[in-house]
Amino acid sequence: MHATKAPRIAIVGAGPGGLTCARILQRHGIAVTVYDHETGPDARNQGGTLDLHEDNGQIALREAGLLEEFFRLSRPEGQEMRQLDPAGTVLFHHTPDEGERFKPEIDRGLLRDLLLNSLQPGTVRWGHTLKAVDGPAEGPRQLHFADGATVEADLVIGADGAWSKVRRAVSGATPQYSGVSFLEAWFHDVENRHPDVAELVGRGSAAAADGERGLFAQRNSGDHVRVYLIRRVPADWITAAGLSIRDTDAIRELLLAQYRDWSPALRRLISDNDGEYVDRPIHALPVPHTWPHDPTVTLLGDAAHLMPPLGVGVNLAMLDACELALALAHQPTVDDALRAYETTMLPRAHETQRLLDHGAEELLSAELPDFATDSGR
């Protein structure tokens, strides 16, 4: 960026997309501040595991100078994948080749720590819950936080996820419920406490569906497994049943009745979990989602193109972040950078949104998915 005065850049959201963008900007000597609503990096569990693909997420990590460290932390064995039928018969089993690096797995918490530790001290300002962005489109913009603080910026980057507050400054779109909900269950110390589950899931993941119900089980690091029970239900199905998310036993009884025809091995993924469930109704933005160009606000990742969780969200967020940071580093002005970035990002997002539209429904399909005929890719 060749402007005479360095722009004040504010990224909202300290997830993989926001942190990747900040890291690459700093590598190019561009100052940036990241604001996040959480009280600190350890405020909550960051979620399960994810795979970073060589044609998007890994490209971003290479530009961030973190690819080799990612490979040291990642689990290439996590690329193992099994597809079963409800009777427990294995229909497809992909085992990664020695040295296969197409999409190794890494826990979200490890990835976040990798990115956080690469930033200059003080880059992330914790405990900043954004309420709104206002100010003229030509800038400067004002970020208003819940504690009454106001920050002025020449560029605001919304990396604040599905329910983005930054999005409201450029788009009236809101995520809509897909009709499909995930219920997350955890298993700890699986090799000792849940050996049957460990054997079923293997080193990677295992999935099954019957057209109405599905499940997806995934090995995490630290001898953990997470299971996602996938069903076509109203978003408020728990309260409609007269329950709360803390009513673990009652929810388990309801689920076991719904999966009653499934094999005992698969039903253990419902009956034997440790602790409470986590309710995750699946939302998506309209297809396509776009907004009028704004010279001082842009979006990346889920804030720009929330889609069903089919393995591409974090990868696209990190690629968005990479391309935006490089545009800011090489274009003469912020406006030129945003135009260059959005010219590439929006068509890519539209195409992926189109391909994944109603993708949550496909997770319930009893048909063998495409990965079974594409070498696990």
Q: Which of 357, 48, 367 is nearest to 178 (CA)?
A: 357
| 302 known ligand binder | yes
Which three-class secondary structure string do you get for 198-223? HHHHCCCEEEEECCCEEEEEEEECCC
Asked whether the CA dihedral 321, 326, 327, 329 is positive or negative, the reply is: positive
DSSP 264-308: HHHHHHHHS--S--EEEEEEE--SS------SSEEE-THHHH---
Q: Residue 196 — φ and ψ, nearest 5°?
A: -65, -40
Other C-beta atoms within 10 Å of 88: how many? 14
Cis bond leading into 281, ω under 30°? no
Q: To the nearest 10°, the Cα dihedral for 329, 6, 67, 123?
A: -160
243's tokens? 């329950």
359's tokens? 């993708």
Secondary structure class of 9 (helix, strand, coil): strand
40 CA to centre of own chain? 19
| 193 known ligand binder | no
| 62 known ligand binder | no
What residues are paired with 217 via a beta bridge? 206, 227
Q: Residue 68 — φ and ψ, nearest 5°?
A: -65, -35
| 189 known ligand binder | no
Looking only at the bridges linking them, the beta strands covering 130-134 and 150-153 are unpaired
Cis bond leading into 140, ω under 30°? yes
323 CA to centre of own chain? 18
CA distance 136 to 238: 43
Helices (H) and strands (E) counted in the chain, each on its own, are 13, 17
Residue ranges at the known binding site: 44, 51, 108, 302
Residue ranges at the known binding site for NADPH: 44
Residue ranges at the known binding site for FAD: 51, 108, 302
